[in-house]
Structure 1
Amino acid sequence: MYPSFKTKLAIALSIAFLCCSYFANAQNVVKTIKGYIRGVSEGGITVFKGVPYAAPPIGQLRFKATQPHQAWRDTLAATEFGSNATQASGGAEDCLTLNVYTPKADNAKRPVMVWVHGGSMTSGSGKGQNGHVFSNDDGIVTVTINYRLGIFGFTYLDDVNKAYAGSGNNGVLDCIMALRWVKENIAVFGGDPNRVTIMGESAGAKLVSAVLVAPSSKGLYQQYIAESGSVQCVRDINTAKAERDRILQQLHLSKNDAARLLTMSADSLMKAQAAVSAGVTGLLFWGPVNDGVVITNDPYKYAANKKLPAVKALIGTNATEATLFMDRYPALKAPDTTVLRALFADLAPMVHNTLLKNRETLQPYDAAAKTITEYMYTIHNYRWAKAMVNAGIPTYVYRFDYSDDALGAAHAREMPFVWFDPTSKAMENAEKRLLAINMHKAWVSFIKTGNPNVAGLPQWPLYKTTIKPVMVFNTTSRITNLKTVFDDPHFPSTVMVFKQ
């Protein structure tokens, strides 16, 4: 007896469905150098989540330099985000994963952007930013990464045991390992390993800047975007030791007992971290080290010696960065020397002198906002722009001025404009939406071509040390040629110093 027409139709539809499912799943599977991984179709693109780019830094690898991940046999399901790095809100030490958002896993050689998140070097994760924003409509393969934070990522132990050389830069080494993974694997995700932009904001900007001055990162990227941060996080060895010793004191350990950090619970270490970096101190306490191992020189000397990689750069700050922190920590609204010492450590007297001068012409709140913004961000942004230009790096500089509330153009306020989501209700206002469209287009253009100039914005020239042209983003964006920029010749290249 032959099958009926309905039966034949059902069989045909089932076969078609299975074929479609097979090809869809096949499209979501790629072969990395360590093994196959399977992603998930999401919003019209393919996303691979929680992909390990390095060995878990646990057990004997805690506080050690980033190590390669072992290969795996079976196809790895990359359908869920990995654990956040250990932080106050939770997380795990086994955290070295990344996420890839790609329009299509093919051979198209699309531009690649690697995002390094912010969070004072103690919080955040790669999944905190939506990679769809640059991949869905802009055709950019977007990679977001996790890296070791706080005590796990930036504790200097080189003088304790040479096996831990570079430990004060483990967060930097994690970023470099992720970039190496991108170099070796991104082609199978439809990306071009020779068109990679590293991009970060706040602590992320400081980290990608530290990567820039780490010799082992050369050749892994071609462009660099730093929003509200440059090399001011790179501290000297004495400061790194002093910060480490504060951790040991909290744990009632001496330097000779530092090896016990390897076996103590993560919870115990996090309690010590919270104690030494409580309040405003935590804003600047953690960061990379000029250790002679990973970072081999003062960043400005490194640049002056023409050691920087041949990249293109886009950097900038927000007009009133400090008001975000003043809102969170009211003591900063009219800070005394004690509060400034908690923030800048032994550099506080220099900051206080400038604060007093600013109070002669400004109200206390405005004087604090101006002074803290200048010493935390502005001075370093323009110093670093000058250093890069003098080193032959084509550099575009911006300033974000837009404000719609009392905080003004505070720290991180540019983020939703750069990461413009057309469906966001926060951007329904026509004024904000137009600014977001233009800023996002400029960033996309830079990632794709190395040039942020786009229709809808004034012509944006390269920064020069004489003319100093800066793109000012506001309701009406414009180019301003700065005659002078704030600088304090007595203030060092780093933003927090402990003189022991």
Structure 2
Amino acid sequence: MTKLTIMMAVMAAILMPELIDCLPKQRPYVDAGDENNNPVCTSEPLVQLKNGGRVRGVCRTGLNDREIHAYLSIRYARAERFAYAVAEQPWDDVYEATYQREACSQEDPTVKHSEDCLYLNVFQPIDDSDQLKPVMVWIYGGGFSLGSIDGVASILYEGSVIASLGDVILVDMNYRLGPFGFLYSGTDQAPGNQGIYDQLMALRWVHDNIDRFGGDPNRVTIFGESAGSFAVSMLVLSPLAKGLFQRAIMQSGAISELKQFSPDYSVEKARAFGRKCGCHDDDIDKVVECLKRLPPAKLTWAGDGLDIPAMFEGVQTIVMWGDKAGLLPESPSEMLRKGDYNHVDVMFGFVHDEAAQVVTLMDLELINPLKSYTWDHLSKKLSAIFKAFLFTEHEKEITDFYMPPETRHGHIKSSVVRRKAIDILSDPVMICPNYLFGQRLAMQMAKNASASNRNRFYSFRFDHHSPFMILIGCEKWMGVCHGMDIPFTFGLPIRKDVVKLAFTEKDKHISQNVVKAWTHFAHHGNPGPMGDVEWPEFLSEDGQSMRQMAIDVENHVIQNEYRDRCEKLWAQYLLPFK
């Protein structure tokens, strides 16, 4: 297992007993008067889809005892190994969407997984209104190698709070991961971006069917975190996604043009992956044919040892443009420059200390507050980071930016080194791609649209550290680690069925504010105020200030905090733009 896989498995193992102990015992539809206090449906959760198939769901209870109809693991598509998915055919019997099916094949030992995995969930708040509600479609993260809507994730991503508090329809889906979802041969045998195409198929399903669940197909917001945010940015650019959503939220990630995401690098890694699996041939199509014959477990566990940076594990075979489906016909910067993107409202941001956990996994010495470094010792550690993330050709420029020569004298405290290392890893991987993509898109749309017909952009940074985060390995001194905003996004602190977890009143207040802001954006195209603080648009009217909402107990607006790091240093490597 890679360090990242181990970390996520450990996080799941730590979280599992707490969450399982707090799980509500949901049952299928019951007529009335459930003696065990389970939710009682006022109407049967039974829906007929556009293709004629019927699905039966279960009842759940949202905030303020609001009735929720949950439809679990509806099949939206099928796919052969490495091929693009095709829509699911109609069925004759009633489909029991009353329990979770398998996750997509992956290394995570805490979930049951299979190649037959293209399912989605729908959470529908019930009321007397006949007006269609906005729809929010969640895309999970996990480095494109881990993730699901099953297991622990089905607790974390449970949509009842968002649906009930925000009065929206919540959808989430499985998509293929690792080599199953992203192997790219440069030929039709493994056409690339299969996992993103799965997401596209799910969005088409939503467009065709969500009105049957009370959702408005013309008011769809896609949102995701980490790799899910990366995928959202791809869909914002993709011509194949046109008209399938009107708003997008990106949390901790976005597309970039790092070497890891280029077509040539992807083919190179596909060959290396084949060799790892025992498929040796100069003909790449024969390599893929060999891979197709292997059992899924062989492919799932063969990713180790490819010398892929932990942060990019599973992304080694993704191609960002030029795939066979035409998801991204050109490079991201070229598409942005030409205005080839979907004109949607966008909200984007990240957490304060994205790479804190990864840095400490890479070098445990950084945890020791008494440790100090000479420059010679420190420079070797930085070189190891640059090598792991393929930044060696820019090592001097990056080092001089974060550690100018005048700061290198004497002994340097581990706390200083840790902060610099966190920034060096956070900026190119999650923070600056997110910031630059949002900035480029906002500036291009502002330039090409009239004041009365323009899309709106908002940005944020999540700054709140909760005692709950310590349960999953994000210590207080680490700050706010990658992914720590997700429980707040889904209202975990304010769910009655997980009251045993270590959430404070401050956590509950912040989570309620976040859910309200995210769903307000889905309703209106803006997040509204964050508590008592007005949330300004990202770009000031003169285009000189980049404004972000810092979300914490005391919310406040920050300006231009990332311009130097992202624009002056990283833009030339991540998203070059003329």
Q: Do 1:289 and 1:295's aligned partners in 2 also have CA atoms closer than 8 Å?
A: yes
Supply the RMSD in Å over aligned alpha carbons: 2.7
**Is 459-468 or 220-229 further displaced after alignment?**
459-468
Q: Do 1:400 and 1:414's aligned partners in 2 also have CA atoms closer than 8 Å?
A: yes
Letter of the 2:45 partner, please give it.
N
Matched, 1:328 2:351: no
Letter of the 1:441 partner, please give it.
K
Match of 2:420 in 1: 367
Match of 1:289 in 2: 320
Q: How far did residue 248 of structure 1 move?
A: 1.5
Q: Do 1:320 and 1:369's aligned partners in 2 also have CA atoms closer than 8 Å?
A: yes
Q: Do 2:308 and 2:316's aligned partners in 1 also have CA atoms closer than 8 Å?
A: no
Matches within 5 A, 1:461-500: 461-464=536-539, 465-482=543-560, 484-487=563-566, 488=569, 491-493=572-574
Match of 1:442 in 2: 517
Write the distance in 1 (CA, Å) between the matches of 2:32 and 2:484.
47
Q: 1:397 aligns with which of 434, 444, 459?
A: 459
Normalised by the length of structure 2, the TM-score is 0.75
Q: 1:406 to 1:19 in 2, by over 3 A?
A: closer
Q: How far did residue 181 of structure 1 move?
A: 0.1
Q: 1:414 aligns with which of 485, 494, 497?
A: 485
Write the distance in 1 (CA, Å) between the matches of 2:87 and 2:397.
48
Q: How far did residue 200 of structure 1 move?
A: 0.2
Write the distance in 2 (CA, Å) between the matches of 1:410 and 1:427.
17
Match of 1:53 in 2: 76
Matched, 1:452 2:498: no
Q: 1:132 to 1:255 in 2, by over 3 A?
A: farther
Letter of the 1:236 partner, please give it.
S
**What whole-Å deviation, never above 9, does each CA across 1:315-366 have from its counterpart, x for those lacking one?**
0011211102123333695634234322x22x33425642454345472212
Write the distance in 2 (CA, Å) between the matches of 1:429 and 1:154.
40
Q: Percent same amino acid among aligned pairs?
A: 25
Write the distance in 1 (CA, Å) between the matches of 2:130 and 2:54.
17
Matched, 1:172 2:215: no
Matched, 1:138 2:166: yes
Q: 1:341 aligns with which of 365, 387, 403?
A: 387
Q: Do 1:402 and 1:475's aligned partners in 2 also have CA atoms closer than 8 Å?
A: yes
Q: How far did residue 24 of structure 1 move?
A: 5.3
Q: 2:341 aligns with which of 308, 317, 320?
A: 308
Match of 1:358 in 2: 402
Match of 1:254 in 2: 281
Q: 1:264 to 1:389 in 2, by over 3 A?
A: same
Matched, 1:67 2:81: no
Matches within 5 A, 1:168-247: 168-232=192-256, 235-247=261-273
Match of 1:3 in 2: none
Match of 1:33 in 2: 50
Q: How far did residue 69 of structure 1 move?
A: 1.0
Q: 1:122 aligns with which of 122, 131, 145?
A: 145
**What whole-Å deviation, never above 9, does each CA across 1:423-458 have from its counterpart, x for those lacking one?**
354574233332222222211211111110136241
What SS does structure 2 have at the residue aligned with 1:275?
coil
Q: 1:176 to 1:435 in 2, by over 3 A?
A: same
Q: How far did residue 281 of structure 1 move?
A: 5.5
5+ unaligned residues in a row in structure 1: which ranges? 1-16, 496-500
5+ unaligned residues in a row in structure 2: which ranges? 1-29, 35-39, 62-66, 367-377, 446-454, 467-475
Q: 1:255 to 1:86 in 2, by over 3 A?
A: farther
Letter of the 1:397 partner, please give it.
S
Matches within 5 A, 1:4-15: none
Letter of the 1:350 partner, please give it.
H
Q: How far did residue 481 of structure 1 move?
A: 1.9
Normalised by the length of structure 1, the TM-score is 0.87
Match of 1:269 in 2: 299
Q: 1:385 to 1:137 in 2, by over 3 A?
A: closer
What SS does structure 1 have at the residue aligned with 2:86?
coil
Write the distance in 2 (CA, Å) between the matches of 1:414 and 1:372.
19
Letter of the 1:185 partner, please give it.
N
Q: 2:96 aligns with which of 74, 77, 80?
A: 77
Q: Do 1:201 and 1:228's aligned partners in 2 also have CA atoms closer than 8 Å?
A: yes
Q: 1:226 to 1:286 in 2, by over 3 A?
A: farther
Q: How far did residue 251 of structure 1 move?
A: 2.2
Q: 1:99 aligns with which of 121, 124, 140?
A: 121
Q: 1:321 to 1:351 in 2, by over 3 A?
A: farther
Letter of the 2:50 partner, please give it.
I
**Is 24-33 or 258-267 further displaced after alignment?**
24-33
Write the distance in 2 (CA, Å) between the matches of 1:288 and 1:205.
16
Q: How far did residue 206 of structure 1 move?
A: 0.5
Matches within 5 A, 1:414-433: 414-421=485-492, 422=494, 423=496, 424-425=498-499, 426=501, 428-433=503-508
Q: Do 2:134 and 2:220's aligned partners in 1 also have CA atoms closer than 8 Å?
A: yes
